[in-house]
Structure 1
């Protein structure tokens, strides 16, 4: 079944149950959003904040600088991408478990769901911790759904936030994305430890396993999910590096002989949707690993595989926290970047000029996002 059907079924089931039990469970339903507010976890956030408030302030002083730098970077990146979007359009949206046409990234459902939960929870906890560091009351916090996607929130007292000094406000505004960046740094460090030191010893690569075949691609109807690629044009393929090296030497229209564990197949390469000058087969794959003989005698054939799943999970935690945290720093209200931009500008200009400039910047950034996304979707449809 197409993954979108699972989303549709899940949406109907969850929203029906939420409506039936909204009074008993104290659930709020507002447009496409389901919320359940609570005061639990406030003590935990408060204890984390009060363990070392001076350290948190110093950390977030640096966080403000990093947030401003990353804000400038994401704007520059979106502007620079306009030069290549017409030549190499891509869809930059990913949805867990859904193969989106034109997107070079496929986000597995399980990894995607866990990764998104870490993004949301650490982001909101960041805001909450710094709010308590600055003695701002947290009115409520909770969890919910945006249609079918999980969300979490921390609700500080806005009146108390408005009474703070500019630097204190900036610490709170920047905290969410900076906490995402810190988690991303931790996740990528763990990923490299796993992939550089543990997995090569425990689970050496023995080829590339096909995870999915892109519909309408040269491989469609020829290769199948689950096949293990072992050779391409007689060249041994044992891992992603050897696969990439062979693929880079191909050109559009080449006849390719692919040896798998289920037989040998001939495919004519097509045009890569993301680069008209690159050859394209149309598969998504991952390295196939086997348990080393020495380790299998000690732990068996199953336990060592946990390392591969953990490496994949931490890579997605890194990717989602970095990507979403960076995107949230766009100077576009109501994103955190928009609040930071407005607060900084307000220290130098009048309230009227600040509002006008913030509005203009928000429209500019929104236009950049819509152009990049819209052109990618249009190219994928065509």
Structure 2
């Protein structure tokens, strides 16, 4: 069954349970918004903030200009993506396990879910830690569901926020994305260390593994996730470069492709790539299939090498998603943190009335661009899945 249906069923069950047991589960429902507040973890945030309030404040003094720079970078990246989108639509949906035809991004379900959970926790804890380090109270912590979009939040004391200096507010608003970037940096260091040392030492390639079969693609119903491909049309594909060369340079749309796999031999007919009609599209995503070298298995067994391999994969997606979401969150678009930072900066020199008009106008422009990119880039790909 299409993975999207699992998400639909899961969120439908969540909504039904929340509405049926609203009081028992202590859920708040505001139209399409589902919230659950708690007082748990406040003590932990308080403890972290009190370990070194001066460090947190001074680190975010650096975080404010970085946030402003990233705000400009985010606007630049999203604007230059518009003409590219019309020339060659690039569908992208940050839902782990969902493979959209033509999408340049596919997030593994296990690694993706872990990365998204850590992303939300670290982001909101960043806000909370900086708030408490500067004397701003926290009313509650919780999770939120906007229809089917999950999130987390730290609810600050409104009166404390109103009384706070502008610099205090900017540190708090910048902290979320800065904590995401910090987590991304840590994860990237782990990836570099593992992929440049232990993994090349411990593993060897014996083909290409199919990690996803795109719904509605040529391979659907023929090839299956988990198959290990040793050759296609008689050409060995024991490396990523060999596979890419085969698809781009040796295969054309409409060509027959014969896969020799560990589960038998299968034949499909390629179609045109949704993003480039001149190249073949088999409708699969692949990665190099690795096996532990016999010498390494004798010394360490299989569990340790595969644990470190999976750790590298999880850390890669922690890095990638924290960077992507951290940058997106800094767009000058309310209610995102970037929109609030943009508003606070304008108030330094611009009257409240004019600031409100500027922020509102820029927010709607950004919302329009993001909506256009999502609809034009993602909806056609989603429709091909059904």
Q: Same fold (TM over 0.5)?
A: yes
Inter-partner Cα distance in structure 1 for 2:41 and 2:208 = 44
Inter-partner Cα distance in structure 1 for 2:63 and 2:41 = 24
Are the aligned partners of 2:99 and 2:212 in contact in 1 as well (CA < 8 Å)? no
Inter-partner Cα distance in structure 2 for 1:115 and 1:147 = 21
Shift of the alpha carbon at 1:226?
2.6
Partner of 1:203: 203
Are the aligned partners of 2:240 and 2:288 in contact in 1 as well (CA < 8 Å)? yes
Inter-partner Cα distance in structure 2 for 1:269 and 1:5 = 26
Inter-partner Cα distance in structure 2 for 1:378 and 1:286 = 26
Shift of the alpha carbon at 1:47?
1.6
Matches within 5 A, 1:355-374: 355-374=356-375
Residue 111 (structure 1) aligned with residue 114 (structure 2): no
Provide closer, same or farther for how the CA distance between residues 52 and 150 of structure 1 changes in structure 2, counting only shifts above 3 A. Answer: same
Shift of the alpha carbon at 1:20?
4.0
Partner of 2:288: 287
Are the aligned partners of 1:102 and 1:379 in contact in 2 as well (CA < 8 Å)? no
Partner of 2:157: 157
Are the aligned partners of 2:209 and 2:227 in contact in 1 as well (CA < 8 Å)? yes
Give the TM-score normalised by structure 1.
0.91
Matches within 5 A, 1:142-181: 142-147=142-147, 150-181=150-181
**In the TM superposition, what whole-angstrom CA distance separates every residue of 1:313-365 from its partner, at most 9, and x where no partner exists?**
11111121111111111100010000011111111111111111101111111
**In the TM superposition, what whole-angstrom CA distance separates every residue of 1:222-246 from its partner, at most 9, and x where no partner exists?**
5333321223455432232332344
**Which deviates more from structure 2 when the two are superposed, residues 181-190 or residues 13-22?**
13-22
Shift of the alpha carbon at 1:292?
1.3
**In the TM superposition, what whole-angstrom CA distance separates every residue of 1:282-331 from its partner, at most 9, and x where no partner exists?**
21112211111122223433442212222221111112111111111110
The 4+ residue runs of structure 1 with deviation greater than 6 A are none
Are the aligned partners of 1:119 and 1:320 in contact in 2 as well (CA < 8 Å)? yes
Partner of 1:339: 340
Inter-partner Cα distance in structure 2 for 1:25 and 1:225 = 38
Inter-partner Cα distance in structure 2 for 1:329 and 1:248 = 37
Pairs aligned (count)? 382
Inter-partner Cα distance in structure 1 for 2:94 and 2:119 = 14
Matches within 5 A, 1:1-382: 1-147=1-147, 150-232=150-232, 234-250=234-250, 252-253=252-253, 256=257, 258-264=259-265, 269-377=270-378, 379-380=380-381, 381=383
User: SS in structure 2 opposite 1:284?
Assistant: strand
Give the TM-score normalised by structure 2.
0.90
Inter-partner Cα distance in structure 1 for 2:170 and 2:313 = 34
Are the aligned partners of 2:232 and 2:257 in contact in 1 as well (CA < 8 Å)? yes
Unaligned runs of 5+ in 1: none
Inter-partner Cα distance in structure 2 for 1:269 and 1:39 = 55
Inter-partner Cα distance in structure 2 for 1:237 and 1:368 = 40
Instruction: State the superposition RMSD in angstroms.
Output: 2.4
Inter-partner Cα distance in structure 2 for 1:130 and 1:63 = 11
Shift of the alpha carbon at 1:81?
1.3
Inter-partner Cα distance in structure 2 for 1:49 and 1:326 = 24
**In the TM superposition, what whole-angstrom CA distance separates every residue of 1:153-205 from its partner, at most 9, and x where no partner exists?**
11111221122222221111111011111111111221222222111222222
Inter-partner Cα distance in structure 1 for 2:85 and 2:231 = 34
Are the aligned partners of 1:230 and 1:237 in contact in 2 as well (CA < 8 Å)? yes
User: SS in structure 2 opposite 1:229?
Assistant: strand
Provide closer, same or farther for how the CA distance between residues 374 and 300 of structure 1 changes in structure 2, counting only shifts above 3 A. Answer: same
Unaligned runs of 5+ in 2: none
Shift of the alpha carbon at 1:51?
1.5
